Amino acid sequence: MSIPLVDQVQQNLLFQQLWTQVTPIKLSNITILQGFPKEKLISDDETNLNKEFVLPIKLKDEITPNMLDQVFKELQGVKRLVLGIVNDDGTVVYYIVHDGVYKPKKN
């Protein structure tokens, strides 16, 4: 009955955040998710609804720049990642990580 990490984030994206076509991708070390959000992730985005990539992790997991770099390398040309961070009360919080410097969005 307990749900593995990747499935937990996938279900959350599909049924709470209402993303569509959310599917896992196996990279060499980890499994991440891809899918289309309900609305633009950042309102300043120029193009409409891009495919986004989500890295599921646990709250207490440690991530290193090297690890993120590896993901960006394997995804070739992807400019940002979403961290799907799972807490022990079932909450999934999402943070965006950009590959390099990014102009802050307007508030």
- Among 25, 59, 63, 96, the residue binding other proteins under the rule CB under 8 A is 59
- Cβ of residue 73: shortest distance to other proteins, in angstroms? 30
Q: Is 63 among the residues that bind other proteins (CB under 8 A)?
A: no
Q: Residues near 86 by Cβ (< 8 Å), separated by ≥ 6?
A: 5, 8, 9, 56, 57, 58, 59, 92
For residue 31, what are the β-bridge partners? Answer: 26
CB of 55 to other proteins, least distance (A): 18
Nearer to other proteins, 4 or 102 (CB): 4
Half-sphere exposure in the Cβ direction for 70 (13 Å, CA): 13
Instruction: Write the single-letter amino acid at 1.
Output: M
- Residue ranges in contact with other proteins by CB under 8 A: 1-3, 8, 11-12, 14-16, 18, 20-22, 43, 59, 87-91, 93, 106
